[in-house]
Every structure is written in structure tokens, then in C-alpha cells.
Structure 1
Amino acid sequence: MVKGKKGGPKSKKITLKMARNALRMTPEGKRRLDLSNMGIDSFPKCLLKLTDVEELDLSRNQLKKIPEFIGQLTGVRWLDLHSNYIEQLPRSIGQLDALCHLNLCNNSLGSAGLPADIGNLTSLQTLNLGMNRLTTLPQTMATLTNLRELGLFDNLLTAIPECIRVLPNLRKINTTRNPIAYTQGDTKDAKASEGIYLIREVDLCKLCLEKCKEERQRLKRKRLSDQSQRRSNFSGLITPNSVAQKKANANLIQLNSSV
């Protein structure tokens, strides 16, 4: 899996002072801590002392493990861990009951690394699990009733998981580039999975962004081709309809004459 960090910065230890200096206020008034693309290979424990952080970005680093103490960051509402090397999430991830947005795209998560406790994130609205190694999802995800957007692209799913079919507020789902064998009844699922990416372009590494743009252009060309084909299919309807109208008029004249 391409991570795009070869030749990047060496591993760096984050101190509390560095973390405090990196704190910023977003236009929406949220306290955001951006530690992305810094070569971090271990989750900074000093973050436990920053209890007012609402948005945490640790994307594009070298994280392989998420510690159990992440469950103590209960104020975090937006967590970005994309483009790391994470193979497993701790059960304590389910303690982040304020979490609304979670990005785990482009990691090394297998189905065994996704704990059932993820179903406890009942405030979750967007979840990006794209570009991992998932073959199934925990059945507990059926409890994510506030989930609106779900990214599952570039995984190893062979079917649409039943647990997400029952989610009442799910509006967008991306399952492209999975080995899913759609049956006739799954056409709605197939259509819904086209071209929806659940992370902002500014949060993507260069290689991921290029891949997404290529896919977007492919889908655009496909839509234009489909539209052109539909126009071609209907372009000849004028003549048959005109002929049919003439025949109907002729039959009417003949009927009047016989009367």
C-alpha cells in the first residue's frame, strides 16, 4: 500500500511545549492540533494534558499502534489518522463518545484490527475506512445511527456488510474497488458507491490526491459517455412517431369513408 512518506522526516518526539505551540483556533472556533506529516512513530502521551483539544490531526506519520489511553481524549470531536501504518485499534476507541468525524484511510487495518467497540461511537457522522485490508465489518456498527457518510473504498470486501444496510441516516457510501459480486438486487448499492470520497483534498497526501482525481475524471467521462449514448438511442424517435401518426390519420379517413 502506498503511503507516500519515503524520504520524509525522521521520527520525532512530540513534547507538551511543541503540542501547545501547534494549537490553533479554527474559523468555527474549535481548538485544532495539527501534528500531521512530522515523522511521529508513537502516539504522543503528552496530549492527555491538552484536555480542550477538539480536532486532532496525526495523519501522514509513521504510527503503527494506537495506545489504550486514547480513550481518555474524550473531548475530541474530529480525529484524523489517515496515511499511517495502523494495524489495530484499541478497544478504548469506543470511549470517545463525542467523536463525530474519524478518518482511518490509507492504513493497514484488517478486520481483526477493528474492534467491536467502534459501535459505541454513537455520535459519529463520518467514518473513512478506505484503503485498508478489511474483509468484513463488526456487526456492532449497526448501532452507529448518526452515521451519514462511510468510506470503504479500496478494501477486500466481497459483499455489502449487512450491519450498514440498516443505518437510518447513512446518505453516502463509497465501496469502489472492492471485489464485491453484485447481484441483481444490489444495483442500488452499486450506484450509491460511485465517486464519493469522505476526506477533504487538503488532508490527502499527494499520491492519494492524484489517485482520487484520476478516479473522478474517469467517472466524469463515464457519465458524459452515458449521456451521449442516451441521446443517440432517442434521436430516431421522431420519424417512427411521425409515420405512426400518418398511419393513424389514414385509418381514420378510411373509417370515415366507410361510414
Structure 2
Amino acid sequence: MEYTSDSSDGETSYRIVDLSYLLLDPDAIDHNLKDYLEKDSKKPAENVEKLILHHNQLRVIPRNLVKFTNVQVLDVSNNGLASLPDIFRHCRLTNLVAKNNLLKNDSLPKEFSECVQLKELNLSGNRIQRFPEQIFSFPNLRFLYLGGNGMENISKDVWKLKQLLVLSVGANEITDVPASVGQLKQLQALVLSDNKIESLPANIASLNNLKSLFLHRNRLRTLPPEIIALKNLNELSLRENPLVVRFVSDMSYHPASLLELSARAIKLHNVDVKPAEVPYTLYRYLNSAHRCVNPHCKGVYFDNRIEHIKFVDFCGKYRIPLLQYLCSSKCASSEEDEIVSPSRTYLMKKVLLG
């Protein structure tokens, strides 16, 4: 058991109780917490702000836990927890982490007590197959993690969580993203990876504060053209979607041959070469040079090139992936048709290719 003291007046004020990795059952946890509940205890329960109980054997919440009414952070991850009672009736939590347990939809209470203080809720790695509507009892929730549950949907009422900064629902069975997600105006990160999503709603472009959008390993064949409006987006993951997989499946890069290197050097330095001055194979090879597609680059390539994808405007209606060839991996492509601003061009390309 670990206690962390924090007091400005010299008196001990125990704020953290850490009982993690001890493989304790609920009765053993209750016994360890009993010292805090005794009258005239030197470690009073009302001073405890953080309870760390992960990696134990808690199929149910210990009885004494609800008596720690000032606890703000509770971590009961990796416990085999099979039910989660309405602990918010007793404890005004700001953070609840209950990931990697055995929780199902019917093992949650029909509704939680409204808790305006709760900022983070992590129920990832459980068995919650339907979006838990009870979450709407937390109007000021900022961080919501529901990944790895086999969940089949995102509630259309998700717009009620107006303060969300992070919505993480990756590694589920989601096929459809409701348009109401576009109403989460504060959202900065949206994790939809490892699902079965075939399309995105156009109003995702309303997420003006979105910085990270993770869409890898889905079934996307197109992106809504409105996505170009996401000016703050600097992280977009699309790998292993039909949208890009056909472009990257055969990509490879081999070291340049001596012939390639020689020809590049001649072209880059504008050396005036006559047929008799170099081998005929090299002289003929010089005629097959290709200019780098980056208009700001003077480089050339012959057989060896760098391949990458960028999104280009097609007739002003669609943005489609286009395979491009660059002379070097250090070369940046044309910026005018990129999906993001020039300062983030290289980062975006790297993420697109996974």
C-alpha cells in the first residue's frame, strides 16, 4: 500500500491509496481500506482523492469504496469486474477508469446519478455491444474511451456530450457514423479505427477543432469532399482502407543502381556530355530522365523513385487519392492541392501511408 502526502501546513494529508497489482479480492480490499474509516484515524477517508485498484480480482466493487466520498480518481482496470453500480451517487468522481474488465450493457445500472464533475470515462476493453446511453448523465465529459468492446453503434444522441475533446471508439463493430458526431464542436481527437465503416457524414467538416482523425482499418472507399474544411487537422490515418490500399500494396523502394546515380549526377549538375565521353548505355539512359513532380525541386529520377499519395481536387467536386513519383524521400510534393496546409504536408503524407 502506498500513500502520498501533500500538505502545506506540515501535517500529513494522505491523498493517494495505491493497491494495484496485488491480486486482492473485494474482501481483502475492504480490509485494507478499513484503517481509513476508523474513528480518529490518522489517515481519514475524506482526505483520499485517488484510489488505484487495477490488476486485482474484483468481480464486484468493494463495499467500503463508496465511503470515500471525496475520491476524484478511481482506477479499477484489469479486475474481471462483472458489474458497475451507480458509484456516482456516493463519490463525485472526475476520472473513472474501468478498462479491460467483463462489463456488459446489462451489468451497468439503468442510469447513473448525474455527475457534472466527471471529465474522463474509460470503459475500453469490455463487452459493451451497444452505446451506453447512461453516459449522458455526465454533461461535462471531456474524454470518452469505448474502444475494444465489440460495440455496433454510436448513439445518435452523442451530441449531448457537448464538452467532449476525445471520442475513442476504435476496435469495435461500428458500420455507421451518425451525423450528430458533427455537432461535437469541441472535439479534438476522433478515433474510429478498426471498425467496418464505409462512409463518413459530410458534416464531419463542422469539427473545426479536430486535430486527429484515425480511420485506419475500415472499409472506406471515399472521403466526403467537405473534409478539406478541417483546417486544424494535422493527423489523419487512412491505411488499410480500400481508399488507399490499392495504391500502396505494390509500393517498394530499391537502392539506386550505379547507372542511376551517375545519370542523376550528370543531370543535376548540368554536365554537357558527348557520346564518346561516357559509356553508350549511360548516354542513352540520360534521355529517359523524369523531372520530379515537385515544381520547387530540380531533381530527376530514372528507374528508382519515391512513391506517395496525395489528395487532389477532381472537377471541384471530389478529392481523390493520386499516386505521385518523387525523386527523393526528402522531397516535398506540390502544396497547392494538399488536403492540409503546407506546414503539415510531410506529416500528413507519412500518416496516409501508415
Establish whether TM, by shorter chain, passes 0.5.
Answer: yes
Distance 1:177 1:84 in 2: 21
Among 167, 171, 175, the residue aligned to 1:131: 171
Pick the structure with greater CA Rg: 2
- TM-score, length of structure 1 as denominator length: 0.65
**CA shift for structure 1 position 231:** 8.3
**CA shift for structure 1 position 244:** 6.1
Tell me if the contact between 1:71 and 1:92 (Cα under 8 Å) persists in the aligned partners.
no
Task: For residue 204 of structure 2, give the secondary structure of its aligned residue in structure 1.
Answer: helix
More helix by share: 1
Structure 1 residues 60 and 185: CA distance shift in structure 2, 3 A: same
> Residue 103 of structure 1 corresponds to which residue in structure 2?
145
**Deviation digits for residues 191-233 of structure 1 (CA, Å, limit 9, x no counterpart):** 81158xxxxxxxxxxxxxxxxxxxxxxxxxx9xx98x66988x
Among 101, 106, 109, the residue aligned to 1:61: 101
Is 164-173 or 10-19 further displaced after alignment?
Answer: 10-19
- TM-score, length of structure 2 as denominator length: 0.49
Distance 1:108 1:34 in 2: 22
Distance 2:79 2:183 in 1: 35
Tell me if the contact between 2:88 and 2:114 (Cα under 8 Å) persists in the aligned partners.
no
Structure 1 residues 43 and 163: CA distance shift in structure 2, 3 A: farther
Is 238-247 or 114-123 further displaced after alignment?
Answer: 238-247
Matches within 5 A, 1:5-24: 12-18=59-65
> Residue 125 of structure 2 corresponds to which residue in structure 1?
83
Task: For residue 111 of structure 2, give the secondary structure of its aligned residue in structure 1.
Answer: helix
**CA shift for structure 1 position 161:** 3.4
**CA shift for structure 1 position 75:** 1.5
> Residue 160 of structure 1 corresponds to which residue in structure 2?
200
> Residue 237 of structure 1 corresponds to which residue in structure 2?
264
2:198 maps to a residue whose letter is T
1:133 maps to a residue whose letter is E
Structure 1 residues 23 and 106: CA distance shift in structure 2, 3 A: farther
**CA shift for structure 1 position 67:** 3.3
Tell me if the contact between 2:167 and 2:190 (Cα under 8 Å) persists in the aligned partners.
yes
Larger RCO of the pair (alpha carbons < 8 Å, separation 6+): 1
Tell me if the contact between 1:157 and 1:179 (Cα under 8 Å) persists in the aligned partners.
yes
**CA shift for structure 1 position 96:** 1.6
**CA shift for structure 1 position 184:** 11
> Residue 236 of structure 2 corresponds to which residue in structure 1?
192
RMSD of equivalent CA atoms:
3.6
Identity among equivalent positions (%) equals 23
**CA shift for structure 1 position 137:** 1.3
> Residue 216 of structure 1 corresponds to which residue in structure 2?
none
1:193 maps to a residue whose letter is S
Instruction: Give unpaired runs (5+ residues) of structure 2.
Output: 1-54, 240-247, 275-354
1:39 maps to a residue whose letter is G
Task: For residue 70 of structure 1, give the secondary structure of its aligned residue in structure 2.
Answer: coil
Instruction: Give unpaired runs (5+ residues) of structure 1.
Output: 1-7, 25-30, 196-221, 248-259
